[in-house]
Amino acid sequence: MSKRVLTPVPLTAERFAPYGDVIQTVGTSDKTMNDARFDRFDDLAKVDIESSDGGHVSISIVKSKTPTTLPHQFDLVERHPMGSQAFIPLSVFVFAVVVAPAGESVDAKDLRAFVSNGSQGINYHRGVWHMPLIATIEGSRFLVVDRAPGEGNVEEVILDQPVILQAF
Amino acid sequence: MSKRVLTPVPLTAERFAPYGDVIQTVGTSDKTMNDARFDRFDDLAKVDIESSDGGHVSISIVKSKTPTTLPHQFDLVERHPMGSQAFIPLSVFVFAVVVAPAGESVDAKDLRAFVSNGSQGINYHRGVWHMPLIATIEGSRFLVVDRAPGEGNVEEVILDQPVILQAF
């Protein structure tokens, strides 16, 4: 079976717009707070969850235990039908996201790969297909903002062909 | 008028429990994700917002523009009646939080001061009185998870006596 090879391109808000939000500060803001002690970059991502059935928005941390070596081959993608999901690095490090548009089905050919600049986080819109998170550095930590409980909020699909994410 | 002097004590989940959540990883977790590539520290803070009237949970970033020198004197505290509010450092740095229990009124004598260990974030529970955020390092960035729009969701009170937050 042929493999689909993905070379990540730099993550920008424009490129990522079909899939979600880029959580970042660019330049200065025209809003401040607390007597102008801070620049405010407001509402960079809207958290969108299904709150019926006891769901709530939750803040968690995931910490890399077994880093991934690139190139990384995978054949499974997932989506969260009941809510958006944000990952924000808690220190400066780059990471890759691989996504495909929300929809009932997904093909390897629909996947796009992006690499962050070290200070960016992302928010997947509800239902957007994505590669399960990987980290390349042991101990690196991401803040997660998504729906709890997680049970019943993940769908996985095995792709029609394996995918290789190239080094970045 | 006499001043109330606050010396911050180390922030712990136990000490902060009356006011909110500490967002941190301690030790290892008994939960993993993505084939055990990550330790999961789940649901460290529950985001609690009033969603009527068009409110939603929002992710923002604030960036220190004018750092504060300690000791820091202030006489104003605020609370957010329509939702919790989380601040999580996006790199490793310590910061202070000064809080008083939720309630209709607040006195300087009710205030308690805490200092983080550099890797901790916090989530103020809805209605908890707090000193407006300060940072001691220019350019330091906090992720914010709270309710948008912010309009109509802040109450400020001038304290009965000025407060001095000691250096940490």
Residues 6 or more apart whose Cβ sits within 8 Å of residue B2: B161
Of B48, B60, B89, which has the smallest distance from its Cβ to A44's Cβ?
B60
Q: Is B21 helix (H, G, I), strand (E, B) or coil?
A: strand
- Taking the whole predicted model, whether its pTM rises above 0.90 is answered as yes
What are the chain A neighbours of B60 within 8 Å (beta carbons)? 40-44
Residue A103 pLDDT level (bands cut at 50, 70, 90): very high
Residue A51 pLDDT level (bands cut at 50, 70, 90): confident
User: Dihedral through CA B67, CA A35, CA B88, CA A87, nearest 10?
Assistant: -110
Cβ of B62 within 8 Å of Cβ of A46? The answer is no
CB-CB contact of B129 with B74 (8 Å): no
**Does the beta carbon of B137 lie under 8 angstroms from any beta carbon of chain A?**
no
Q: What is the mean pLDDT of residues B14-40?
A: 93
With pLDDT > 70 as the criterion, what percentage of chain A qualifies?
A: 100
**Does the beta carbon of B102 lie under 8 angstroms from any beta carbon of chain A?**
no
Q: What is the mean pLDDT of residues A1-25?
A: 96
The pLDDT, as a whole number, for residue A30 is 83
In whole angstroms, give the CA distance from residue A135 to residue A138: 7
Q: What is the mean pLDDT of residues A33-40?
A: 90
What structural domains and CATH numbers belong to chain A?
4-165 (2.60.120.480)
The per-residue pLDDT for range A106-132, each reduced to its tens digit, is: 999 999 999 999 999 999 999 999 999
The shortest C-alpha distance from A44 to chain B (Å) reads 5
CB-CB contact of A62 with A142 (8 Å): yes
User: Cis omega before residue B149 (within 30°)?
Assistant: yes
Our CA angle for A52, A56, A61, nearest 5°, is: 150
**Does the beta carbon of B41 lie under 8 angstroms from any beta carbon of chain A?**
yes
Nearest CA in chain A to B45: A59
Point out the least confidently predicted range of A96-100, A150-154, B7-11, B122-126. Answer: A150-154
- Average pLDDT value for chain A: 96
Residue B79 pLDDT level (bands cut at 50, 70, 90): very high
In whole angstroms, give the CA distance from residue B11 to residue B48: 22
The per-residue pLDDT for range B90-107, each reduced to its tens digit, is: 999 999 999 999 999 999
What are the chain B neighbours of A133 within 8 Å (beta carbons)? 33-34, 37-38
What are the chain A neighbours of B96 within 8 Å (beta carbons)? none
Dump the DSSP string for B107-136: -GGG-EEEE--SS-EEEEPTT-EEPPP--S
Structure tokens, B64: 């220190």
- Average pLDDT value for chain B: 96
ipTM for the predicted complex: 0.95
The shortest C-alpha distance from B2 to chain A (Å) reads 25
User: Dihedral through CA B36, CA B41, CA B46, CA B51, nearest 10?
Assistant: -30
Q: How far apart are the first and last CA of chain A?
A: 25
